[in-house]
Structure 1
Amino acid sequence: MFSHKGKTRTDKHNLGLASLLSFVAGLVNVVGFMAVSKLTTNITGHFAYFIDEAFTLRFTQAFHTALYIFFFFFGAFFSNFMVEIYSRIRENLVYIIPTFTEAVILLSIGIFGNFLIKYSPDIIALCLLFAMGMQNSLVTSISHSVVRTTHLTGLFTDMGIEFSQLFFYKDKEHKTKLVKSIKLRLTIIWMFFLGGIIGGILYKYFGIRTLFLGSSILLVGLIYDFVKIRILLIKRKHL
């Protein structure tokens, strides 16, 4: 799921990756908004806020919003920077380091979040935007731009296009490809909503510590991938 890339990646790998990461993104989206009333999985809305604040001469608020945009960008930059470095040093760690870093960020916000909400809520928003920038960059890199998980605008656009194409492309090969793509996008959308619903329910009881669940899911995904690969290597040695 995390380790396969290029020709070794299958639709099944992309589907598993999309399910796991879109659930985490949906959870972070709701928990981040409920905790600090900020969008923490995408930056589209922040651009509108930035322009409004800049034109109304509220430069302090505009600067804060610019930081939100920058930290999402910086997360994407950092993620791919790590991928490029480890692809030249130790290729089996290429995708593990960014995913583990995201898990640590979510865990840290879960631990220190209640303190930060009182004294510096912006730090929570910046950290979560950085983590989601990392995730979006990572999943785009792994799936060769097939999967994106942190926001739904592009997904609904692509799915609308693909649904319309079903009425025009009748050949079996093209139609099968379209159906697979639609299935993947529907999975991402459904898991994003499911993550958001569960995040909202759990937030009532656990507050910002709900992010522990997101961190745990990422770590379990990494462990599952690692164990699965080790088992396959052992089996090959004994064949």
Structure 2
Amino acid sequence: MNYFFLMLYGNKSIPQYSPSNIVLWFILAFQAGLLNIGGFMAINKIISHVTGFATFFGYEISQNQNIHALGMLSVPLFFLLGSMLSGYFVDLRLKLDKRPKYYITFGIIFALLSVLLIGGVTGQFGQFGEAFEINRNYALLIILCLVCGIQNGTISTVSKSVIRTTHLTGLTTDLGLGIVRILNKKKLKNQINDEEKINLVRFGIILSFILGSVAGALIFRSLGFIGFAVPTIISGILFGLMLYFQVYRPAT
């Protein structure tokens, strides 16, 4: 069995910091950076942070925009739905000692991003970069949140709730805690394990997200909605790999 594809074959979460997991996390953090900057540049809204939508809700209420406020409050429900989908196809099956269906969660991501790409290019979401209009841009917003929820839920399960790839708040907090542990490892003695490696992985994920955002800014500035072809292609490749190794060439 190819070690890199253990995640795709296995019926349990493989070791958290195996090469296959780390590579996958870096790729997905890069993709999340692309999606975040793409969503922001397309409709001037941050798309993967549940906390931000609570802030938007409060702002819209203060402006007496009650319909907009309800729209902003409902968006995180799609992030929650995405997490629930990954919970059903991945987390629940792992807990039942069954093979997780990664190919389904990544297939859904690929399908959603394909819809987003086609809708954007054909003008279904208005002009790229225009001011947010809930009647026109709501569908784009919920698709992106749904994608991030599925991705975050899947990777959270694989990493045993250690890693998140669609936003950096928790990861940065963990990195700060980890740095303090390393600086005081003599006092902690045997209470920390592989903290240096873990912090390098956290830093790598943060860097991958930032690189995705920088690359995305250049791509979307030049291509507009066509820029969503990049994360669509990435998710399509991952979906294809998982479909091949889990369905067409399953482990014996």
Both proteins in one fold, TM over 0.5: yes
Is the 2:91–2:100 contact (alpha carbons within 8 Å) kept by the matching residues of 1? no
Asked if 1:198 is matched to 2:215, the reply is yes
For the residues of structure 2 that align with 1:60 and 1:7, how far apart are their CA atoms? Answer: 42
Runs of 5+ in structure 1 lacking a partner?
none
Distance 2:92 2:138 in 1: 30
Q: Which residue of 101, 126, 135 corresponds with 2:142?
A: 126
Q: Are positions 1:40 and 2:56 aligned together?
A: no
Compute the RMSD of aligned alpha carbons: 2.9
Deviation at 1:10, TM superposition (A): 4.8
1:65 and 2:65 correspond: no
Per-residue Cα deviation, 1:96-122 (whole angstroms, up to 9, x for no partner): 101111011112111111412227211
- Secondary structure of the equivalent of 1:160? helix
* Worse overlay, 116-125 or 89-98: 89-98
Q: Is the 8 A contact 2:11 2:97 kept in 1?
A: no
What per-residue deviation string (whole Å, max 9, x for no partner) do you get for residues 38-58 of structure 1? Answer: 111221111112123335543
The more displaced of 79-88 and 47-56 is 79-88
Does 1:9 pair with 2:25? no
Q: Secondary structure at the match of 2:185?
A: coil
Query: Are 2:152 and 1:136 equivalent residues in the alignment?
Result: yes
Structure 2 unmatched ranges of 5 or more: 127-134
The 5-angstrom pairing of residues 69-148 of structure 1 reads 69-83=76-90, 91-92=98-99, 94-114=101-121, 115-118=123-126, 120-148=136-164
CA gap of 1:90–1:167, structure 2 versus 1, over 3 A, is: closer
Q: Is the 8 A contact 1:74 1:133 kept in 2?
A: yes
Aligned residue number for residue 218 of structure 1: 235
The structure 2 residue matched to 1:23, chosen from 30, 37, 44, is 30
What secondary structure sits across from 1:210 in the alignment? helix
Counterpart AA for 1:131: V
Structure 2 residue aligned with 1:164, among 177, 180, 193? 180
Shifted more, 148-157 versus 39-48: the winner is 39-48
For residue 187 of structure 1, report the CA deviation from its aligned partner: 1.0
Q: Whole-Å Cα distance in 2 between the matches of residues 58 and 231 of structure 1?
A: 53
Q: In the alignment, which residue of structure 1 is the partner of 2:170?
A: 154
What are the Cα deviations for residues 188-213 of structure 1, in whole angstroms up to 9, with x where unaligned? 10110111111111112221121221
CA distance in 1, matches of 2:90, 2:179: 34
Kept after mapping to 2: 8 A contact 1:106/1:215: yes
CA distance in 2, matches of 1:174, 1:214: 39
Is the Cα–Cα contact under 8 Å of residues 163 and 171 in structure 2 kept in the other structure?
Answer: no
Of 132-141 and 87-96, the range deviating more from structure 2: 87-96
- Aligned sequence identity (%): 25
**TM-score relative to the length of structure 2:** 0.81
- Which string of whole-angstrom CA distances, capped at 9 and with x for unpartnered residues, describes residues 126-166 of structure 1? 11011101111111112211211011111111111111111
